[in-house]
Amino acid sequence: MWPPVEGDDHLSAARRRLLIIMSVGVLIAGNVSNFLAFEDVMKRNTAISTFILIAPFLFFIPPLILRRKGSSTTATAHLFLVLFTFAGILAAYTGGGFFSLGTFYLAAVPPIAVLAIGLRAGLSYLAGVMVLYGCFYFLRDSLAPYDNNVLPEVFLYWNFVGLSIIVMGITLSTLVYHHGMAAATNSLTQSRQEADSGSRAKTEFLANMSHEIRTPLNGVLGMAQALQSRQLGSEERAMVDTIQDSGNTLLAILNDVLDLSKIEAGRTLLSPSDENLHTIFQRTHELFMPLAREKGLKLVLKVHPDVPQWVHVDAIRIRQCVSNLVSNAVKFTEKGGVSVKVLAKPMKGRANGHFVTVSVTDTGIGIEEEKLASLFQAFAQADASISRRFGGTGLGLTVARNLSQQMGGDISVESTPRVGSRFVFTFVAAPAEQKHVTETDRTGASTKGRIDGVRVLVVDDQAVNRKVAQIFLQEAGAIVTEAENGREALDMLEQDEVDIMLLDVHMPVMDGIETIKRLRSGSLASKALPVIALTADAMSGAANRLFAVGMDGYLSKPVDRVEMVRSIRRVLGTRRAAAKMRKSA
């Protein structure tokens, strides 16, 4: 019965609620009045008596109309006002004009019209009520009961004048109030539209900047990774490590800003797929081992046997949350160590689903209790001196907590100054949608990190990106050919055979999306060729869109050397496993 707010239109909802309140009020008051004055009512004309008894129940009609979806608030308000006005006229006619309470009831009609419909309606009903008051005054001899002469003519005159002044004053006051509220509502609506427009512009700007920044960053980090695998002197290696660390820091800041922008826009950041949960934690542990070893810290990972191996989750987001907590723990710990423990508990009502708990405990500087509340606020840190001493933007925990909540969990913290901190990250791991085997079986290769003899076509309009991919792939044993755009790649596929293609999404002449569509729908022998997308677009659900058009994998720039090779092995292994299953069937 109570109208909800639809589409943030609070004014319309308020008007509908006002009509319901007024209708119910008149319904109750009318019936109570008829009950108390039942004998007087029945002494009147039969038709009039019947209508007086029935009239209150007519006010049940507006609420019934408003219950219907799509009903007109304005039309319902007019119906209510007509019923209310007619009831007032009847009360005045049967009660003696100005001697009746009906004249006072009519004074409420214009203000209700202003609130329920608008300014013009209020003025129209005001004019109508003033006409009725004039009629009551000039027809007073016809309307008044037989003993009306007990009141002097002057009293009748000032009753007319007083009621007129009251109703006009109330109506004008309501008009002024309504005008101010309407202006405020319009201002808020305009401000919101401007804010939404600004938010969209910011999102588009960040998307473009992400692409523009990630492309050169891919070259910087890619070449740094390539140099790290070379024979370098200690001084040169230190320089390369600095380049790599600085580039990774810039990438982390860029990712946090982009994720925060998406969170503020209310967008879901998850793209779940079947993943090996143990592998996610193991690789995260391996990632931070060099930094922990450099600081003389112990970094221990303990995964309980009850933790399922294959689950349906967003591996990138889980790794992002865990990496953030482990990175902070290592950063703020100067002696001792960091412990990562992973537990899982089966969930009721979800077959094979698990509630996973990841606790990261350190022996670092700790956090004072009164400063814990600010930890998860954007751009905030527990202490300003922390930023100067250890670095950081204060965005990581904000993003991580929002991600954990999107995954059905949360992040909590317990800390003691100068003793250490314990962060607990929880999330829901849905059961895997397919049966899985080990990675070695899937790839059909026992040599870890090698793709010897695999023919790879790299398609990218940026020469530096092709160069980085070429170095990574050739070091892993692959045979590499290159193309600058999709059209050139399709022409090459007509002449040469390849095992897999790495395809950039944003290119001139023919982009990656159009290329994959033509490849999958064409008549080439290579129409089933495995394709992994390469893109610097990190603003929205890029992975889902790319898989939908026929991509087999997805890599975000800047590309990591190990992840590139691993993705190629995984995609090729999946294709081979599927082929074996078809043959056995």
Residue 200 neighbours by CB under 8 Å, 6+ apart: none
Determine the Cα–Cα distance for residues 150 and 152; give it in Å rounded to an integer.
6
Please state the rounded mean pLDDT for residues 570-576: 81
CATH of domain 439-584: 3.40.50.2300
| Proportion of the chain above pLDDT 70, given as a percent | 77
The Cα–Cα gap between 289 and 150 comes to: 103
Rounded Cα gap, residues 88 and 273, in angstroms: 68
Q: What fold is seen in the domain 268-431? A: Heat Shock Protein 90 (3.30.565)
Q: What is the percentage of the chain residues whose pLDDT exceeds 90?
A: 26
Among the ranges 48-62, 272-286, 518-532, which has the highest mean pLDDT value? 272-286
Q: What is the DSSP letter of 100?
A: S
- Whether the per-residue pLDDT at 89 is higher than 70: the answer is yes
One fold for both 268-431 and 439-584? no
Region 484-500: mean pLDDT is 92
Mean pLDDT of 28-51: 72
Q: Nearest-CA neighbor of 448 among 457, 440, 459?
A: 440
Average pLDDT, the chain: 80
2 pLDDT above the threshold of 50: yes
- Of 78, 23, 77, the closest CA to residue 55 belongs to 23
| Per-residue confidence band for 388, with pLDDT thresholds at 50, 70 and 90 | very low
Q: What pLDDT shows up at residue 390?
A: 44
Helices (H) and strands (E) in the chain, counts: 21, 12
Residue 260 has pLDDT above 80, yes or no: no
pLDDT at 169: 53
460 with 469: CB under 8 angstroms?
yes
Mean pLDDT of 12-41: 78
pLDDT level of residue 195 (50, 70, 90 thresholds): confident
Contact present, 446 and 577 (Cβ < 8 Å): no
539 and 548 in contact (C-beta within 8 Å)? no
Query: Which of the given ranges, 25-29, 54-58, 214-218, 567-571, has the highest pLDDT on average?
Result: 567-571
Which one of 15-24, 106-115, 212-221, 494-503 scores highest in mean pLDDT?
A: 494-503
For the chain, the domains span: 10-151, 268-431, 439-584
Cα–Cα distance for residue pair 35/213, rounded to 1 Å: 79
468 compared with 582, residue with greater pLDDT: 468
- Tokens representing 380 are 């905030």
Q: What integer is the mean pLDDT of 99-111?
A: 78
Q: What is the 3-state secondary structure (H, E, C) of 307-353?
A: CCCEEEECHHHHHHHHHHHHHHHHHCCCCCEEEEEEEEEECCCCCCC
The pLDDT value given to residue 4: 77
Q: For residue 408, which of 489, 354, 451, 328 has the smallest C-alpha distance?
A: 354
